[in-house]
Amino acid sequence: MRTLHLIPNTLNSRTPLEHLPVSALNALKSCNRIIVESDRFARRLIKDSFPNLNPEKKESFLLNEHTTPEDLVDLLQWFKNDEDIAVISDAGAPAVADPGAAAVRIAHNAGWRVQPHIGPSSILLALMASGMNGQQFSFKGYLPRDRKIRERIWKEMKEGLSRRKETQVFMEPPYRNDRAFKECLNNLPADQQLCVAVDITLETEWIRSFAISDWKHQIVPDLDKRPCLFLIGH
């Protein structure tokens, strides 16, 4: 059966052989047609995984926020032949807080098998390491800058916390991390648990979970421009 392989990329580590399991690496090697968030990071993954493989052998299709519905018509052609295809994101799992879902939908409609491969997801790794409720949780994605929408999402998060004890997970564009951290300290009750997870899987990984009142006494590293997740919960 023709298969669309969903292959996570490392979270900016250059050691895929340490961070990806064999089944994901095998799929990465075998597919000559790749759907990528950007050529640069996908080809870096191939080069770091298989230094002797010629990355030019692989034909790529860009699928990201700039892809138009017209572009997708070209992608449909790929699903008409019988070569397996791989989706590779810039970092982490394709189609989760990252592009890729459009290709998955095409594959389901075309009757292809869709095979997700094991690999890093900063959301899941942060949730594991938070010590918070992992039985019910809600991922809000990148918080918007628009003040009104942002206020609505904060309200939803507080409702989810109080009514359903669901852990609330969100991200920011990395240059707004420091501001978001201050927003958490100012916006949440003193006994509310907050986890900050920075540079997951990298040498500089830093994950801490405290009540808001305790965060005020912590030495917090500079979060600016580093990949960071914020988790609020119990």
- Site for its own copies, rule CB under 8 A: 6, 17-23, 93-98, 100-102, 104-105, 107-108, 113-116, 118-121, 123-142, 156, 164, 166, 200-201, 205, 207-210
Closest approach of Cβ 229 to its own copies, in Å?
11
- CA 165 vs. chain centroid, Å, equals 23
* Residue 34 or 132 having the CB closest to its own copies: 132
Between CA 15 and CA 6 the distance in angstroms is 19
Residues 107-134 as b/e (b if ≥16 CB within 10 A, e otherwise) read beeeebeebbbebbbbbbbbbebbebbe
Closest approach of Cβ 6 to its own copies, in Å?
5
Closest approach of Cβ 180 to its own copies, in Å?
17
Backbone angles phi, psi at 161, to 5 degrees: -70, -45
* Residue 56 or 203 having the CB closest to its own copies: 203
Closest approach of Cβ 104 to its own copies, in Å?
3
* Residue 56 or 212 having the CB closest to its own copies: 212
Give residues with Cβ within 8 angstroms of 9, minimum separation 6.
Answer: 41, 42, 45, 88, 89, 90, 91, 92, 119, 120
Closest approach of Cβ 69 to its own copies, in Å?
16
* Residue 85 or 127 having the CB closest to its own copies: 127
* Residue 185 or 202 having the CB closest to its own copies: 202
Q: Of how many residues is the chain composed? A: 234
